[in-house]
Structure 1
Amino acid sequence: MAGVSTAFVMLAALFWGLSGGIGGMLVADGWDPLVVSFYRGAIGLVFVLAWLGLRHRDSGLADRRLWGWSLMAGLGVAGNFTFYFVSISQGSVAVAATLMYCAPVFVFLVSFALGLERPTPLKWVAIAMVMLGIVLLTRIYDIQPGGVTPIGIAAGMLSGLSYALFIFGFKYAAPHGSPQATLVIAFAVLSLILLPLGDTGQTLSALGTPSWPLFVTLGVLGAGVSFILYVVGLNDTPPAVAAIVAMVEPVTASLFGVLVLDERLVGLELVGMGLILLTVTALSVSSSSR
């Protein structure tokens, strides 16, 4: 079962990587990042609702604490999806995906601030290495026309911070109810937040345009099937292994950007990406193996 569970986690990461590329295609075609994010979450909501219907026992839906933490998770996933696609629209899939992968660093920083994690010199060095990687990847010291914009960099960082918020909400909701119930509440919150914020005309017309297969694929792979596979896979996958396998997401998204969207990363940008991916993975493995 451990091998199957790891495969589930890997598939989830692969689907998340592909969803970044698909979202990039939609944004490049002129679709509002908020609309793209809404459909990703709303279609995902259909899947997790069906999952909850099949596994409705001990859902915890009557527990106020589940609702509170799930609300936090919903705010996190709404911000994660939205800032991710904004970052893509202001830069590239590869840069946005790699910046989002910095989420564990934000988890550590929040944990330090809340006293949940003890800071050590090694962790501070790792965080500094990630920051150096971000500088090299985004070339923030030498912004060029047509490259990643300051908005793209900020949005990418905020997508990682939002994902950290989702992680905290999902983690602390777990003792009070089922993961199915948490995801249903989180995706419902996402849908309620993003529906009025996006372009109303685009939202109403999206599924009636030639782009509808991309929207459906984005929702199915990027939220519906992937989150279910990830949650199920984590049951029998060691955290250290899951942390390594998660690197499939930014690598897949980056390859999609290069092969399909004709994006390019050169020189120090590649060094920065490698520095971020390797350091974050090592940091996650070290933390989860304790």
Structure 2
Amino acid sequence: MHPPRRRSAILVAASGVLFGTTGTAQALGPGSADPLSVGAMRLTAGGVLLAVFGLVRYVRRAGWTLPRPTRALGWVVLGAACILLFQVTFFAGTRANGVAVGTVVALGSSPLFAGLFESLVFRRLPTRRWLIATLLAVAGIVAVSGVVGAGPIRLNPWGLLGSLAAGAGYAGYTIAARALLQRGWDPVDNAASMFAVGAVLGGIILLGTDNAWVVAPGGWALVAWLAVATVFCSYLLLVFGLRGLSAATTTTVALTEPATATLLGVLVLGEALGWVQALGLAGLVGGVVVAGTGGDADQRPARVPPEGVRLTDQMGAAQGPGG
């Protein structure tokens, strides 16, 4: 396997592991925490951290000169909107149809949406290897969720639509981030710019939610972990990994998230793991391994400019959606 691709797969898998701690961290946090408020606080606090980090790097590199607005900003706004879409609709879907069904639909559909979007935006069809890996991983998610053998499930159509929107939102973010990388954007500038916008949008949501849980015992610890581990570190790892992987493969490899969530549920929260779930976990990990090895639809890593290149130069040469 090509070394840059191996490193990219490891970075994306590590990103998924960090992201997978979200549910356990929330379970160990204040019991009064509203899921929508937690999601918005996570986006806002993590987005501020990324924005400040990106701004410091930019000022050290280019001074206080303002970047020229270009059509590339369309990708930034799109990526931020997709991040917010995932936060809001994921919780809406799990609230309507339960955590198991909501998670299966959202996470299971995201690689499929990414493959579809990638074929439309980049005119590149995913590989057969990716399809096999994704089907294996999605089957594993279904088994791990406990949906199999649970009897008849009555689905709320609006909740189902919300979960599908969450899957599309996550896929849309990877497409936007990949598009900026291919146009020469630095990975940190990439993540920082999207989450700066996302932080503003998340802050607006916080104005309408009950945020009293933040000052409850364990509240600030929960905010700190979610912001630093599941946003700042996780999304930096993800965008650096995107340099060597297609968006479709990235979303499949990132399915280490539900595997991590399952293991933490057993080891930390004392949840039971039946033989069907164990087989599903093995299938999920197998799908991630298959996706992270072998060929890819785009073996060329995204071009990243040298450290001394100004963001204004990157943005001036960039193209926006459809450009």
Q: TM-score, normalised by structure 2?
A: 0.67
Query: Once the 2 structures are TM-superposed, how far is the Cα of residue 10 of structure 1 from its aligned partner?
Result: 5.6
Distance in structure 2 (CA, Å) of the matches to 1:124 and 1:224: 30
Distance in structure 1 (CA, Å) of the matches to 2:253 and 2:119: 25
User: Residues 24 and 85 of structure 1 are in contact (CA less than 8 Å); yes or no, is this contact kept in structure 2?
Assistant: no
Deviations along 1:49-74, one digit per CA (max 9) or x if unpaired, are 22223321469942322311011111
Name which of 30, 36, 39 aligns with 2:38: 36
Give the structure with the higher percent helix. 1
Query: Once the 2 structures are TM-superposed, how far is the Cα of residue 164 of structure 1 from its aligned partner?
Result: 0.7
Query: Once the 2 structures are TM-superposed, how far is the Cα of residue 34 of structure 1 from its aligned partner?
Result: 1.9
Match of 2:296 in 1: 287
Cα distance, 1:114–1:187 mapped onto 2, change above 3 Å: closer
Distance in structure 1 (CA, Å) of the matches to 2:252 and 2:146: 26
Cα distance, 1:199–1:142 mapped onto 2, change above 3 Å: farther
Equivalent residues, number? 285
User: Residues 15 and 221 of structure 1 are in contact (CA less than 8 Å); yes or no, is this contact kept in structure 2?
Assistant: yes
Match of 2:75 in 1: 69
Query: Once the 2 structures are TM-superposed, how far is the Cα of residue 110 of structure 1 from its aligned partner?
Result: 2.5
Distance in structure 2 (CA, Å) of the matches to 1:171 and 1:98: 23
| Superposed counterparts of 1:59-138, under 5 Å | 61-86=67-92, 91-92=98-99, 96=103, 100=107, 103-113=110-120, 116-118=123-125, 129=136, 132-133=139-140, 135-138=142-145
User: Residues 38 and 194 of structure 1 are in contact (CA less than 8 Å); yes or no, is this contact kept in structure 2?
Assistant: yes
Identity of counterpart residues, as a percentage?
22
| Superposed counterparts of 1:138-157, under 5 Å | 138=145, 143=150, 156-157=163-164
Distance in structure 2 (CA, Å) of the matches to 1:212 and 1:77: 23
Determine if the alignment matches structure 1 residue 14 to structure 2 residue 17.
yes
User: Residues 191 and 236 of structure 2 are in contact (CA less than 8 Å); yes or no, is this contact kept in structure 1?
Assistant: no
Gaps of 5+ in 2: 300-323
Secondary structure, aligned partner of 2:286:
helix
Match of 1:260 in 2: 268
Determine if the alignment matches structure 1 residue 169 to structure 2 residue 176.
yes
Is 154-163 or 212-221 further displaced after alignment? Answer: 154-163
Gaps of 5+ in 1: none
Cα distance, 1:139–1:251 mapped onto 2, change above 3 Å: closer
Name which of 279, 283, 300 aligns with 1:275: 283
Cα distance, 1:116–1:47 mapped onto 2, change above 3 Å: same
Distance in structure 1 (CA, Å) of the matches to 2:66 and 2:186: 6
User: Residues 253 and 288 of structure 2 are in contact (CA less than 8 Å); yes or no, is this contact kept in structure 1?
Assistant: no
Please, what is the CA RMSD of the aligned residues?
A: 4.3
Secondary structure, aligned partner of 1:39:
helix
Distance in structure 1 (CA, Å) of the matches to 2:24 and 2:82: 21
User: Residues 243 and 284 of structure 1 are in contact (CA less than 8 Å); yes or no, is this contact kept in structure 2?
Assistant: no
Distance in structure 1 (CA, Å) of the matches to 2:161 and 2:278: 19
Aligned residue type for 2:72? L
Deviations along 1:86-142, one digit per CA (max 9) or x if unpaired, are 566664589838952653332112234557223666665555555554554446576
Match of 2:303 in 1: none
Deviations along 1:14-71, one digit per CA (max 9) or x if unpaired, are 3222223213445x82422221111111111222122223321469942322311011
Name which of 195, 204, 219 aligns with 2:203: 195
Aligned residue type for 2:283? L
Is 107-116 or 88-97 further displaced after alignment? Answer: 88-97
Over alpha carbons, which structure has the higher Rg?
Answer: 2
Query: Once the 2 structures are TM-superposed, how far is the Cα of residue 153 of structure 1 from its aligned partner?
Result: 6.6
User: Residues 101 and 147 of structure 2 are in contact (CA less than 8 Å); yes or no, is this contact kept in structure 1?
Assistant: no
Deviations along 1:184-227, one digit per CA (max 9) or x if unpaired, are 33223323333344573523x34322222112211111112332
User: Residues 124 and 297 of structure 2 are in contact (CA less than 8 Å); yes or no, is this contact kept in structure 1?
Assistant: no
Q: TM-score, normalised by structure 1?
A: 0.73
Is 32-41 or 247-256 further displaced after alignment? Answer: 247-256
Deviations along 1:227-257, one digit per CA (max 9) or x if unpaired, are 234445666xx54998897454332221122
Secondary structure, aligned partner of 2:271:
coil
Query: Once the 2 structures are TM-superposed, how far is the Cα of residue 166 of structure 1 from its aligned partner?
Result: 0.4
Distance in structure 1 (CA, Å) of the matches to 2:92 and 2:143: 20
User: Residues 45 and 188 of structure 1 are in contact (CA less than 8 Å); yes or no, is this contact kept in structure 2?
Assistant: yes
Distance in structure 1 (CA, Å) of the matches to 2:52 and 2:242: 20
